[in-house]
Amino acid sequence: MLLERFLKYVQIDTMSSEDGTTTPSTLKQFDLAKVLQEELKELGLTDINLSDQCILTATLKTNCNSNETIGFIAHLDTIPGFSGTNVKPNIVKNYDGKVIELKNNVRLNPEQFPFMNNLIGKTLITTDGTTVLGADDKAGVAIIMDMLEYFTKNPSVPHKTIKVAFTPDEEIGGGIDSFDVKAFGADYAYTIDGGAYNEINYENFNAASAVVNITGLDPDSPQGDRICQKLFDDLSDNITVSGEDFPDLIPILAVVAGAKNGADFQNIGRLRLKESDRIEAVAQMLREIGATVQTTIDSMCVHPAQYTGGIIDAHNDHRIAMSAAIASTVSSEPVTILGAECVQKSYPDFWSEFTRLGGYYEQYIRR
């Protein structure tokens, strides 16, 4: 039943929007909330309430002598920027440990995602490559609903009073600004979100984003670098980039490509004749922080990755050092840049600007 429930929920598009000015940021989050509201009624829960902000709460009363109340929470929305419409789940039974090929040249490779090696023999559910799956956090929603169904169908199993909450806009922040903790009434609660089996995270974090407005870019400039804005937008997809007219952009474009959906950079042989062999320097940098990169004499293919941090040699090349700094902002662990002072060549104020825009660094003097 858990699988069927999950597959039902992922068919409901609940993508949030960073451009939204209300809570929820998209009205379609109510579509799933209303389905859950009816299911909660069918299960016989009480105190069911769906607020104007799309926060759905309910209570399963205790059937034993416990006076404690435990809460379980999951979010309704899926990540903005990746379609949640017409989701077609791909079910892989008895996973064999090999690469999973999806549409749009999307590959789930155990070399890139080593945790897949722990899933051999299990049933995996993935997207087909054309949309987001929505397991974050419809898997959590399905688990909570399945738990409630179990307790209602097995009244002899003792349980405390259980409070549940399904909330909007987790992916963009602010979705629980109107969440009434006191009214929820739980003594303690758990958020059921992505994580390893049998794993509990006891710390929370606050993630923030910022919009940086850049002025002074001339779209009619004779410099090839004027194409940067279009390329950064295009990197939302896996693309092929011919970089002969803007080779100096390749290091930072490669960093962005790895953090997004990958890219194939062609006609960039001139990079081998810069302050460093930038093709190999960039490839080395990205590999060090967790990306898979293939190179030829005049090309570089960067695969999407979750940057993990590491130690990067700037090769006395200012563009490598600055690109590594930007990579650190989306890495799960710190990035150490050897020779970071080389930014003085072109951008002496780089580190102060990096800090002003929200970055953080510590300087160590090598002796």
Q: Taking the chain (367 residues) in consecutive chunks of 10 residues, what is each chunk's mean pLDDT?
A: 93 91 94 97 97 97 94 94 88 94 85 86 92 92 97 96 96 87 94 80 67 77 77 80 90 92 92 94 94 94 90 95 94 92 94 90 77
Distance CA 194, CA 344 (A): 42
pLDDT value, residue 300: 95
pLDDT value, residue 366: 61
pLDDT value, residue 172: 86
Answer whether the bond into residue 137 is a cis peptide, omega within 30°. yes
Cβ–Cβ < 8 Å for 25, 17: yes
| Token pair belonging to 201 | 């995270």
pLDDT value, residue 312: 95
Give how far Cα 192 sits from Cα of 30, 144, 239, Å: 20, 8, 35
Domains and CATH numbers, the chain: 2-87+131-191 (3.40.630.10), 224-356 (3.65.10.10)
pLDDT value, residue 355: 92
pLDDT value, residue 314: 95
Give how far Cα 245 sits from Cα of 256, 292, 346, Å: 19, 25, 20
From the list 13, 77, 169, 288, the catalytic residue is 77
170 tagged catalytic:
yes
Distance CA 247, CA 269 (A): 9
Cβ–Cβ < 8 Å for 324, 335: yes
Contacts of 120 (CB under 8 A, 6+ apart): 95, 96, 97
- Per-position DSSP letters for 295-325, written without gaps between them: E-SS-EEE-------EEEE-TT-HHHHHHHH
* H or E stretch at 293: strand 293-295
From the list 13, 137, 169, 170, the catalytic residue is 170
Cβ–Cβ < 8 Å for 183, 84: no
pLDDT value, residue 207: 60
| Token pair belonging to 172 | 């963009």
203 tagged catalytic:
no
